């Protein structure tokens, strides 16, 4: 008796969201979150006033919104098209 065939495995990463540039992958997004967390903890070790419930979420939002924006602006050519990688 053979085992029934299982349907295909789920995709490793979700499909890209509409409006996301091609370089913005799930792995890159997780890297941003990781870098935000590491930098927040590292700075918080030396400046204790950073460790509170207001600055922490603002720090995360700044990384998650501003870093992709800056990278996208740096990758675009002056005429508005994305540069080839």
pLDDT in tens, 17-63: 677 777 778 888 889 999 999 999 999 888 888 788 888 899 999 99
Q: Does 22 fall in a domain?
A: no
First to last CA, the chain: 51
**Nearest-angstrom CA–CA distance, 32 and 70:** 13
76 close to 83: Cβ distance less than 8 angstroms: yes
Q: Quick one: pLDDT at residue 82?
A: 63
Domain contains 9: no
* Domain membership flag for residue 17: no
Judge if pTM exceeds 0.75.
Answer: no
Q: Could you tell me the residue range of the domain that residue 64 belongs to?
A: 35-71
CA distance 79 to 42: 39
Residue 84 lies in a domain: no
> Residue 2 above 70 pLDDT?
no
In a domain, 21, yes or no: no
């Amino acid at each position: 008796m053979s085992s029934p065939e299982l349907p295909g495995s789920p995709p490793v990463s979700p499909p890209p969201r509409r409006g996301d540039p091609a370089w913005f992958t799930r792995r890159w997004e997780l890297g941003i979150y990781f870098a935000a967390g590491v930098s927040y903890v590292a700075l918080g070790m030396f400046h204790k006033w950073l460790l509170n419930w207001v600055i922490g979420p603002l720090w995360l939002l700044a990384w998650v919104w501003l870093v992709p924006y800056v990278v996208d602006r740096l990758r675009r050519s002056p005429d508005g098209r994305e540069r080839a990688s």
